[in-house]
Amino acid sequence: MNNLFGYKQRDTWLNRATGTAKLIGFLTLTTIGMISYDTRFLIVLSLLSVLLMKTAKIQYQEYALMLKFVLFFAIINLVMITILAPQYGVRLYGTNHVLFGSGYWTITEEQLFYEFNLLIKYFFSLPLAIILLFTTNPSEFAAGLNKIGVPYKIAYAFAITLRYIPDVQSDYRTISLAQQARGYEISKKASILARSRGAVQIIMPLVFTSLNRIDTISQAMELRRFGREKQRSWYQEQVFSRLDILIIVGSIIVGFLGITLLFVNNGRLYNPFK
């Protein structure tokens, strides 16, 4: 059960920082990273993200499934861009250096460079998201959202979602083991059809279990008159410390560097072809 997706208490400086500071840092870095197409800046952001992941002491098996899903959709996205818009890089950078192919399906250096930039965006944003989710207590995360202006009902919905992700994973494994004990083979040794039937036998009980949990939570919140007041206090809310100020200032400095490069490059693009 050590590889459940979600928050775990660790003795790191990222765990000690408040959710508000980490949220501001995450939004600042991801926003400027998504705006910029300066490859040098994106590589620096990726290295920074990997370094922060190392200091957060998050084990690979904890986010392995999430990483595989993101890589899967990233590859699909890049393949679809290549199929549907193989000349977009040429229009974007204004030059045409052909690698192979002809006509509409010509693959150019500009197209590969553009898609490489998109891939880097996945590489730097995923670690930042993992750090935010894995080092922030859900209740504190909700308090941080509320502090930056998000309505507390929406913030509380985020907190409940994050808090019950490990429970859903635990239920999935319990149901999976129970179905396997009844003879449903869902391992890699079974055929795709057998694994599909086994998956259905897991998903349906999981859905009903989750719906029952939702009903229990909603009744408990209603009994406690949740949502009656326009504002609320937070049990897990923390005051800013020097560490939080450093995180916010550091993220603003990196964001300012990205904005400066927009002016230096006369736009969002870093164009090595001119």
User: Do 243 and 14 meet the contact criterion of CB atoms below 8 Å apart?
Assistant: no
**Predicted model pTM:** 0.74
What per-residue confidence (pLDDT) applies to 171? 76
Q: Looking at 33-37, 139-143, 260-264, which range is the least confident one?
A: 139-143
User: Do 158 and 145 meet the contact criterion of CB atoms below 8 Å apart?
Assistant: yes
Of 74 and 221, more confident: 74
Rounded Cα gap, residues 88 and 5, in angstroms: 37
| Contact partners, residue 222, CB within 8 Å, separation at least 6 | none
Of 169 and 110, more confident: 110
Residues 79-95 have pLDDT tens digits of: 888 888 888 888 888 88
First to last CA, the chain: 53
User: Do 108 and 97 meet the contact criterion of CB atoms below 8 Å apart?
Assistant: yes
Average pLDDT in the 4-20 region?
78
Rounded Cα gap, residues 114 and 78, in angstroms: 10
Of 143 and 256, more confident: 256
Please state, rounded to an integer, the average pLDDT across all residues of the chain: 81
Percent of the residues in the chain that have a pLDDT greater than 90, as a whole number: 11
Q: What is the 3-state secondary structure (H, E, C) of the chain?
A: CCCCCCCCCCCCHHHHCCHHHHHHHHHHHHHHHHHCECHHHHHHHHHHHHHHHHHHCCCHHHHHHHHHHHHHHHHHHHHHHHHHCCCHHHHHHCCCCEEECCHHHCEEHHHHHHHHHHHHHHHHHHHHHHHHHHHCCHHHHHHHHHHCCCCHHHHHHHHHHHHHHHHHHHHHHHHHHHHHHCCCCCCCCCCHHHHHHHHHHHHHHHHHHHHHHHHHHHHHHHHCCCCCCCCCCCCCCCCCCHHHHHHHHHHHHHHHHHHHHHHHCCCCECCCCC
What per-residue confidence (pLDDT) applies to 1? 46
Whether the predicted pLDDT of 73 surpasses 70: yes
Sign of CA dihedral 141, 67, 27, 226: negative
| Contact partners, residue 100, CB within 8 Å, separation at least 6 | 106, 107
Sort 105 into a burial class: Cβ within 10 Å, 0-12 / 13-18 / 19+. exposed
Of 36 and 151, more confident: 36
What per-residue confidence (pLDDT) applies to 138? 79
- Which pLDDT band, with edges at 50, 70 and 90, does 143 fall under? confident
- Which pLDDT band, with edges at 50, 70 and 90, does 4 fall under? low
Average pLDDT in the 231-245 region?
77
Residues 93-133 have pLDDT tens digits of: 888 888 877 777 788 888 889 989 999 998 888 888 888 88
Token digits of residue 11: 């003795």
Token digits of residue 12: 């790191």
What per-residue confidence (pLDDT) applies to 236? 67
The values of phi and psi at residue 245, to 5°, are -65, -40
